[in-house]
């Protein structure tokens, strides 16, 4: 069991990468706390952004990454498909988590980060 007191970024990373594995039964109290709910919601959001980026590789859509003076040093990821446009604001820490957790998405984000 993960001891209470772990912060939200650690839980988001654990939920994305599966390291350490989090059993919902064993860690019920932690995952149902306010911090746990926020971490689950953020991890779900990052997984959905990763799915959309991966979908654009298949559908030949575009993904652009904008670095600017957004709140808290965020990065804006714009995903354009045939039928929709999605914008997501990610912190640099969240971009690092996505690069670590999703190797295919990492290639797209790394290409844009180098420019």
Q: Six-digit token pair at 17?
A: 């990468």
Domain segments of the chain as ranges: 8-114
Q: Record the pTM.
A: 0.77
CA distance 96 to 4: 24
Separation of alpha carbons 80 and 48, rounded Å: 14
Phi, psi (5° rounding) for residue 33? -75, 170
Contact 70, 41 (CB under 8 A): no
User: Quick one: which of 91, 103, 75 has its CA closest to 12?
Assistant: 91
pLDDT digits (tens, 9 = 90+) for 48-105: 999 999 888 778 888 888 877 666 667 888 999 888 899 998 888 888 888 888 888 8
């Amino acid at each position: 069991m993960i001891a209470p007191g772990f912060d939200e970024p650690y839980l988001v990373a654990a939920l994305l990468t599966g390291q350490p594995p989090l059993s919902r039964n064993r860690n019920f109290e932690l995952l149902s706390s306010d911090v746990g709910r926020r971490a689950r919601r953020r991890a779900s959001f990052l997984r959905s952004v990763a799915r959309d980026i991966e979908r654009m590789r298949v559908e030949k859509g575009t993904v652009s990454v904008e670095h600017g003076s957004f709140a808290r040093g965020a990065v804006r990821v714009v995903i354009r498909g045939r039928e929709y446009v999605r914008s997501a604001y990610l912190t640099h820490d969240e971009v690092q988590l996505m690069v670590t957790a999703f190797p295919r998405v990492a290639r797209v984000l790394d290409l844009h980060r180098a420019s």
